[in-house]
Amino acid sequence: MSSMALGSGFGNVVSLPKNASRNSNGRSFWIRGSAVSSPQILETSNVNSKGSAKSVRVGVLGASGYTGAEIVRLLASHPQFCITLMTADRKAGLSFGSVFPHLITQKLPDMIAVKDADFSNVDAVFCCLPNGTTQEIIKGLPNWLMIVDLSADFRLRNLNEYEEWYGQPHKAPELQKEVIYGLPEVWREEIQNARLVANPGCYPTSVQLPLVPLIKAHLIELKNIIIDAKSGVSGAGRAAKEANLYTEISEGIHAYGITKHRHVPEIEQGLSDASGSNVTVSFTPHLMPMSRGMQSTIYVEMSSGVTHVDLHQHLLSSYEHEEFVRVLDKGAVPHTRNVRGSNYCYMNVFPDRIPGRAIIISVIDNLVKGASGQALQNLNLMLGYPENLGLRHQPLFP
């Protein structure tokens, strides 16, 4: 990574991204210089492979949940971010390794209740908290903290719509005004200048990545978009629920949230932004007997004179320079297994047997590109780092 070196309170040299000043928007992380003022948290795990202190101190709120654990897993190989704060609710007081033994080798702070958290040792936070709680918690946080919120609290711009779909008035409308929607392939420039980013939902990520470029290029009709989507059970979080017991989930699939799923307005907001007019979709999610992975099968009508080859070609050229989106070769079927554990979205286009229609298939790992990987991609961008830092894991197979 190209960088400039500054002396620091760590007594080490801290590497800052060369383009750090580009992010100096008055709320700038680097101008504050807070990254260089905390000698007490320096640990071996806070040193990168070059022996320099990692520059950015990160808090993970909701570290005992699935997305929190996934952030911790990804940050283990991040050369510049170290974790200085972890919170939990029922599991506050426990060590992270006792809650997630697969990550026991990492040296990490114990998880504490968010009310006891001291943010003076933190430059940026990932909020991996249940919907509805983040907006209350972050409105009390210092206004210089960089925040990536993985919940749905700040994704909908229209607060009436938020109230309608989430069943409660928004509790931090003043913060909503500064939020940037964190889908890097669409809003990269805005994210680079953001302090507060709303990380997209998993289903909306898998749908917008293929549809936004096609809508922007007027290659598909805005009516009759049908999305049939499927998710692994980790999408529902780690908290115990009867409906998610092995006996309820295994050896079967079922639809849920039919016509009422909270991701409908988020998908429609993204597609409407792309088209400049109101887009509505039919969206039905299904729960699959697998831990992680998500597929959206999307049925579209092509614009007059357009073929599925045009759609494929346009997606190929749109994502030619995107590291995390792979448009597969003609005829290759995207499979959730092939993106498992990675930040990739794989997609492809197929002709329908009905003339004029096409079928688009997009797959992601709901916990990575659908949540924590995308969140890390966003924080990298917000701080001026290459967006793939800590994210180059190849998919796990089998």
Which residues contact ligand X2W (rule: CB under 6 A)? 131, 151-152, 201-202, 231, 235-236, 262-263, 285, 287
What contacts 46, CB < 8 A, 6 or more positions away? 53, 54, 82, 84
Sign of CA dihedral 64, 67, 70, 71: negative
Minimum CB separation of residue 186 from ligand X2W in Å reads 17
d(C-alpha 372, C-alpha 370), whole Å: 7
* Chain residue whose CB lies nearest ligand X2W: 235
Q: In whole angstroms, how close is the CB of 110 to ligand NDP at the nearest point?
A: 12
> Any contact of residue 80 with ligand NDP (CB under 6 A)?
no
Based on the shown chain and the rule CB under 6 A, indicate whether residue 91 belongs to the binding site for ligand NDP. yes
Question: Taking CB under 6 A as the rule, does residue 88 contact ligand NDP?
Answer: yes
- Binding to ligand NDP (CB under 6 A): which residues in 325-344? none
Residue nearest to ligand NDP (CB): 65
Which entry of ligand X2W, ligand NDP, none binds 132, CB below 5 to 8 A by partner kind?
none
The identity of residue 215, as a single letter, is I
Q: Say whether residue 310 binds ligand NDP (CB under 6 A).
A: no
Which DSSP symbol is given to 337? G
Q: What residues pair up with 349 in beta bridges, in sequence order? A: 360
Taking the C-alpha atoms of residue 127 and residue 67, their distance in angstroms, rounded to an integer, is 9
Choosing among ligand X2W, ligand NDP, none, which partner's interface includes residue 314 (Cβ < 5 to 8 Å by kind)? none
Query: Rounded CA gap, 284 and 166, in Å?
Result: 18
CA torsion angle 141 144 150 156 (round to 10): 90
Q: Among 234, 216, 215, which Cα is nearest to 225's?
A: 215
* Residue 151 interacting with ligand NDP (CB under 6 A): yes
- Indicate the SS3 state at residue 29: helix
Q: Which of 64, 336, 342, 343 binds ligand NDP (CB under 6 A)?
A: 64
Q: Which two tokens stand for residue 63?
A: 């570290």
130 binds ligand NDP (CB under 6 A): yes
Nearer to ligand X2W, 139 or 254 (CB): 254
| Cβ closest to ligand X2W, residue 120 vs residue 168 | 168
Reduce the secondary structure of 255-295 to three states and give it as a string: ECCCCCCCHHHHHHHHHHHHHCCCCCEEEEEEECCCCCCEE
- CB closer to ligand X2W out of 262 and 326: 262
> Is 202 tagged catalytic?
yes
- Which one of ligand NDP, ligand X2W, none is in contact with 287 (Cβ closer than 5 to 8 A by kind)? ligand X2W
Work out how close the CB of 247 gets to ligand NDP at its nearest, in angstroms, rounded to a whole number: 20
Q: How far apart are CA 209 and CA 189, in angstroms?
A: 16
Q: Which is nearer to ligand NDP, 29 or 126 (CB)?
A: 126
285 interacts with, out of ligand NDP, ligand X2W, none, CB within 5 to 8 A per kind: ligand X2W
In whole angstroms, the minimum distance from the beta carbon of 229 to ligand NDP comes to 13
Helix (H, G, I), strand (E, B) or coil at 322: coil
For residues 296 and 203, is the Cβ–Cβ distance under 8 A? yes
Catalytic residue among 82, 127, 128, 202: 202
State both tokens at 134.
């983040």
Which region, judged by CB under 6 A, interacts with ligand NDP, from 28-36, 125-133, 155-163, 278-286?
125-133
Between 38 and 176, name the residue whose CB sits nearer to ligand NDP.
176
Question: Under a CB-based contact definition with an 8 Å cutoff, are residues 149 and 134 in contact?
Answer: yes
Name which of ligand NDP, ligand X2W, none residue 239 binds, using a CB cut-off of 5 to 8 Å depending on partner kind: ligand NDP
Encode 70-96 in three state secondary structure.
HHHHHHCCCCCEEEEEEECCCCCCCCH
Nearer to ligand X2W, 201 or 384 (CB): 201
The answer to whether 366 contacts ligand NDP (rule: CB under 6 A) is yes
Which tokens in the block code for residue 280? 């509505």
Cα–Cα distances (Å) from 230 to 3, 39, 175, 334, 382, in that order, read: 42, 46, 32, 13, 31
Q: Is 197 in the site for ligand NDP (CB under 6 A)?
A: no
User: Which residues are tagged catalytic?
Assistant: 202
* Binding stretches for ligand NDP (CB under 6 A): 62-68, 88-91, 114, 128-131, 133, 150-152, 201-202, 234-235, 237-239, 366-367, 370-371
